Structures are given as structure tokens and as C-alpha cells.
């Protein structure tokens, strides 16, 4: 029997682990198939406070993990295949580990950026392909970049990138955008933004070190073209990693976990959510870490006020 189990090892989960371990709660952290979360796919992180010269994403995550371990957090590698939060204690089925029972649960499984799934894309993540303009835009000062997408997030990121890039080209497979009119108007009024509508992305091109272009199919002419670019930002949305919950936790229509405003509490007492799995808007490492702290404090207070087990005999 565990006091608290944390699912996920991104900035949110690791921050929760640090706080709970320091509170002598001995959290058990379950690492999924991508320990460290999306930051392990990022090269240099320059917007996380405390690192004047920046820090590599994998190094930041490794440091946070070691910090949690230093205070007594336990880490196990496995994939959660089933969760039962219908009764206490809560039960998890974890591949490679088996059944785990816990008094409380912190969900920090994050969200996965949707990718185009074209040749050259995954191989060049961190080398010119990005899914976060606010994370990586600074690296493209004075350079040409491409945004792939036609929704509000694509328009927002395109406008943001014009603060750094010399030219931003929006590529969308249709001739009409899905973005709201106000977001479209803002993009169309920006003289740094050009348009590549009716273009289907086919392949990310690189020289082996960095991105050099995007091959597209022109829907109108049927011809393949190459857009020369220094960077490609994929902005076609995110998918929260909540499918494994099988509807037991209240979510919105897109799968993001709903929490009680001002807290990390879900609709199930003793189950908390933090990081990108409940963040529809910001999706930054520092905001994820902040909600991880909140979840740890919420879980600690919950355990203290709902003590139902003699932990001294099981720990």
C-alpha cells in the first residue's frame, strides 16, 4: 500500500515528487515510455528560471529526478494499463510491475503534441522541428521558419515567431483556415507572415545536422515543391494522455482533465492532476512545475485530513 503514487516524470510529476519526498510522504513515481516528458526532446531550455546560460532539456529532467531521489522518492519503470478509482484504496495495473494500491494519486501524464508523421519529422525534433514556438522561437532570430497548421494556435504561434524570425510562412493543407476570424486577421495583417495554403507537407528535409526545407504537394497544381526554411513548427494541436483512465476522471471534450478552479483536485477525492494533462493554455515547463507543487501540497493536505491507514507498519 502506497501513500501517494505519481504518474509521469515531466516537470509537473518530478516537482510533485520533490515536494512530497521532502514532506516524508515517500512517493512512488511511475515512469512511462518517455521518462522526463517532452523536455527530453528539447535541446536547450533558456526560459526555465535559474539557468542564466540555459540548460539542455534532458539534463534539466535528470537533475529534477535526482533531486526527488535525494529526498526519498522511489521510481519504477512501467506502463499503466488499467486504473480503478471507484473505491479506496485506488488500484493501478502496471506492466512489468503488477498491481499497486494507493491512498492518493497524482496524474501528471502530460499531453503529446500531434505530429504530421511524415519522413524526416521525428528524426529532426530538436534539430529544426519543434512543437513549441514559445520554447524555441528565440533560436530562430533573423531566420526563416514555417508553421504548419490552420487553427488558432498556429496563428498565435506564427505571430509570436515574427518577434524573432525574418519570415514566417504558414503552411496549411486546405485553402481555408480553421482559426477564428480575429486570429486570422491578426496573422494577415502581419507583414512578416506569408502564406502556403493548399499545401500538403510531404517530407522534412535536412543536411544531417539541421532542417533545410519542407517538401509539400501543391493541391492546385499537383506539383511537389520545396520550401526552404531554417525551422518547422508543427502546430496542429495536442492530445492529453488520458485514454488509460477510461472515463473515470472528469475531462473536457478533448480529454483534458477538469480540476476544481484554484486547486489540482479532480472529481475523485484523493486524485489530483497537474501539468499539461490539465493545462489547455500555457503548456510550459515552469507552469507545469508550478502545478506539480500545487498537486503535492493538495495531496499532502488530503492525506493528513483523511488518514485511514497505519503507515508506520507498511513503510
Q: Is 135 a catalytic residue?
A: yes
The answer to whether 228 and 144 are in contact (CB under 8 A) is: yes
Cα–Cα distances in angstroms (integers) from residue 269 to residues 103, 104, 266, 302, in the given order: 10, 8, 7, 8
**Which parts of the chain fold into alpha helices (H)?**
11-22, 57-70, 133-136, 152-161, 181-188, 285-305, 311-314
Q: Which of 135, 274, 279, 298 is catalytic?
A: 135
The rounded distance, in Å, linking the Cα atoms of 181 and 114 is: 23
Q: Is 132 a catalytic residue?
A: yes
Cα–Cα distances in angstroms (integers) from residue 298 to residues 2, 133, 266, 293, in the given order: 17, 31, 11, 9
The answer to whether 3 and 311 are in contact (CB under 8 A) is: yes
Q: Which of 82, 136, 230, 279 is catalytic?
A: 136
Burial class (CB within 10 angstroms; exposed 0-12, middle 13-18, buried 19+) of 192: middle
The answer to whether 101 and 309 are in contact (CB under 8 A) is: no
The rounded distance, in Å, linking the Cα atoms of 29 and 22 is: 14
Count the neighbouring beta carbons within 10 Å of the beta carbon of residue 283.
20
The rounded distance, in Å, linking the Cα atoms of 306 and 210 is: 54
Start-to-end Cα distance in the chain: 8
Q: Which of 82, 84, 132, 207 is catalytic?
A: 132
> Would you please indicate which residues are annotated as catalytic (active-site) residues?
132, 135-136
Amino acid at each position: 500500500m502506497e501513500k501517494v503514487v505519481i504518474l509521469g516524470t515531466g516537470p509537473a510529476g518530478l516537482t510533485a515528487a520533490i515536494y512530497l519526498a521532502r514532506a516524508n510522504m515517500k512517493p512512488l513515481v511511475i515512469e512511462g515510455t518517455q521518462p522526463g516528458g517532452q523536455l527530453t526532446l528539447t535541446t536547450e531550455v533558456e526560459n526555465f528560471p535559474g539557468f542564466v546560460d540555459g540548460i539542455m532539456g534532458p539534463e534539466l529532467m535528470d537533475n529534477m529526478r535526482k533531486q526527488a531521489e535525494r529526498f526519498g522518492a522511489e521510481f519504477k519503470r512501467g506502463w499503466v494499463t488499467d486504473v480503478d478509482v471507484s473505491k479506496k484504496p485506488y488500484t493501478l495495473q502496471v506492466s512489468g510491475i503488477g498491481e499497486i494500491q494507493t491512498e492518493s494519486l497524482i496524474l501528471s501524464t502530460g499531453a503529446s503534441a500531434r505530429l504530421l508523421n511524415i519522413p524526416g519529422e521525428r528524426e529532426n525534433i530538436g534539430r529544426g522541428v519543434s512543437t513549441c514556438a514559445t520554447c524555441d522561437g528565440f533560436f530562430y532570430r533573423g531566420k526563416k521558419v514555417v508553421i504548419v497548421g490552420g487553427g488558432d494556435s498556429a496563428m498565435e504561434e506564427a505571430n509570436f515567431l515574427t518577434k524573432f524570425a525574418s519570415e514566417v510562412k504558414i503552411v496549411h493543407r486546405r485553402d481555408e483556415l480553421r482559426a477564428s476570424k480575429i486570429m486570422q486577421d491578426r496573422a494577415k495583417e502581419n507583414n512578416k507572415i506569408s502564406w502556403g495554403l493548399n499545401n500538403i507537407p510531404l517530407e522534412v528535409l535536412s543536411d544531417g545536422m539541421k532542417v533545410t526545407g519542407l517538401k509539400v504537394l501543391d493541391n492546385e497544381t499537383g506539383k511537389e515543391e520545396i520550401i526552404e526554411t531554417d525551422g518547422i513548427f508543427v502546430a496542429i494541436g495536442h492530445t492529453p494522455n488520458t485514454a488509460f483512465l477510461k472515463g473515470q476522471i472528469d475531462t473536457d471534450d478533448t480529454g483534458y482533465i477538469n480540476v476544481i478552479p484554484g486547486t489540482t483536485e479532480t472529481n475523485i477525492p484523493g486524485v489530483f492532476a497537474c501539468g499539461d494533462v490539465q493545462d489547455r493554455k500555457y503548456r510550459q515547463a515552469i507552469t507545469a512545475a508550478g502545478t506539480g507543487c500545487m498537486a503535492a501540497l493538495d495531496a499532502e493536505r488530503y492525506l493528513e485530513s483523511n488518514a485511514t491507514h497505519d503507515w508506520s507498519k507498511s513503510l
